[in-house]
Amino acid sequence: VHLMHTFTGPREPVNVMYPPWLMVDARRAWMSKVEHANSTISRSQRKLASAFDELGVRYEVQRMTDDGYYSMGIYLPEYDIAVELDGPTNYYQAGDTLSSRDIPMVKTAKTKLRDFLLARQCARVVTVPWFEWRDVRNAREKRTQYLRDKLARAGFTVSSKQIANQHAHDQR
């Protein structure tokens, strides 16, 4: 409720009246959830962050948005990009086939809303689906190329010089 009123603004009037206490409680509950999320960093998220080290891209883990309503999994300040590693709960399978490999994964409405709200806070939102990350996470070349491709699709290029500088730094 709080975010709906905050982000829809006066352009889209809401004709439902909520008691004042509900807005206060909704905001308090939301902020408590954000603070908890800000303190939790998964092993997969650490691995993803280390891949940005390999690319020579500066990042921040669990950075709060400027308004404090969201904690971005990984934030790339040079590019103003939020990177979200989406786990299994961010997707559902659409379709009825016998093989689960053939069923396309679809983002949940909650995940789409998160991406929409984050996109209002930074230049781009890049999502890394767990089923894609699983296939590249243990091979350095594959994971760095995967992230370079993701950033390129978002309109940003990681230079070979950045990667070379990082590799030289790693060799020391």
For the chain, the structural domain boundaries read 1-39, 42-171
The percent of residues above 90 in pLDDT, for the chain, comes to: 48
pLDDT band at 85 (very low <50, low <70, confident <90, very high): very high
Per DSSP, the residues of 111-172 read HHHHHHHHHTTSSEEEEEEHHHHHHHTT-HHHHHHHHHHHHHHTT----HHHHHHHHHHHH-
CA 72 to CA 6: how far, in whole Å? Answer: 18
Amino acid occupying residue 15: N
Quick one: CATH architecture of 42-171? Answer: 3-Layer(aba) Sandwich (3.40)
pLDDT at 30 over 90: no
Q: What is the mean pLDDT of residues 107-112?
A: 91
Total number of residues shown for the chain? 172
Whole-model pTM: value is 0.76
CA 48 to CA 113: how far, in whole Å? Answer: 23
Question: What does the pLDDT look like over 121-141, one tens digit per residue?
Answer: 999 999 999 999 999 989 999
